[in-house]
Amino acid sequence: MNGREEVFHRNTMLAAETAVEPKDSHAGRVAHALTLNPLPLFVIGPCAAQSHEQLEEIITETETRKLDHLTIAIRICHDKPRSHAITVDGKVAWEGIGLAQITPILRQIKKEHPETLIFAEIRDPDDLQVIGKFLDALWIGSREGFETIRLVTETAVKHHLPVFIKNGPLDGKIGIENMMQRLEQGIRAAAKIDNDGKIVKLETFVVPLLRGTPPQKPVDGVRNISNFEWIRELHKLCPGILAGGDIGHLALSKGVDDPTAFRITHAALEQALGLKLNLIMAEVTGSVPSKTDTGVPIHAFLDLLAHLTNQTGQVRKSMLVTGKKLV
């Protein structure tokens, strides 16, 4: 094991050690769900938060279903970058409700649902300074560069929050190498370093979040190709590494009435379960129409989870599509 591999191993071990922290620890609850649960941690919610009512509906629906064998967190995005900043009608694209509106919403959700784990996408470390106390973990999007990864992770350390980092748009071996570089930036920002440049301690753990890569040529109904199989290469580079998968960016349309979109979502969820990813993220929608990407209706997604898992915390093996590349 060379020096870089040893650092990645320490990052993985930190997650395992954090899993036994007290239950009131943000990082401890997330690490426990990642490392000790037989099934992945599921992180679901709208593409972008629009109101308290929108988020409350999704949380309440999830609690009502009583899928007690699963750990389900809510994803909340208040600052949502768009692929096209200008719409086809020449207007500026809507990019979220912003910090001022999301802060009281998070405060209320945390008060009303103290046991609900909250994940948020963070682009600006100053935002994290304000809302970090309401979060249990955060992720950094695929559009963000090395500097943002460092600055956000440095701020996450102050709030003792785990950091999930999405892969960029590159594919193949180059994409995997870039994913490792992005992780290194996060680990570097989470590290205490001595005068010789050696890492003395890691202050939080960092996890790759695989969200697919663009297809080399257009495929009907497909926005991105699954790259969940990267987990095999990541395990070769760092045995035992934790990893998550975001199934919300694979289909062009995610409405349940679109059979192609639902087939892609279904197959992606099966693949992620089959590859034993530690976390699965998905975009879901309630009755409030989405201003950004339309997610799978919450009731349909929970039905799918119930169908693919059983009450003993096991994946229904007959449903698995292990290692199959999605198109």
3-319: in CATH 3.20.20.70: yes
What are the contacts of 105-109 at 24+ separation with CB within 8 A? Answer: 105/49, 105/51, 105/52, 105/55, 105/76, 106/76, 106/131, 106/134, 106/135, 107/134, 108/52, 109/52, 109/55, 109/56, 109/59, 109/74, 109/134
Domain boundaries, the chain: 3-319
More confident residue, 184 or 80: 184
Question: What pLDDT is attached to residue 81?
Answer: 79
What integer best gives the mean pLDDT of the chain? 90
The pLDDT value recorded for residue 324 is: 45
Report whether pLDDT(259) > 60. yes
pTM given for the model: 0.93
- Give residue 321's pLDDT band: very low, low, confident or very high (50, 70, 90): very low
pLDDT of residue 23: 66
For the cut 50, the answer to whether the pLDDT of residue 327 exceeds it is: no
Least confident of 101-105, 178-182, 261-265: 261-265
Q: Which residue has the tokens 């930190």?
A: 14
With a CB cutoff of 8 Å and minimum separation 6, the contacts of 102 are 49, 76, 78, 96, 131
CA–CA distance, 120 with 102 (Å, rounded to integer): 11
DSSP H/E element including 283: strand 279-285
Q: Do residues 131 and 106 make contact, with C-beta atoms less than 8 angstroms apart?
A: yes
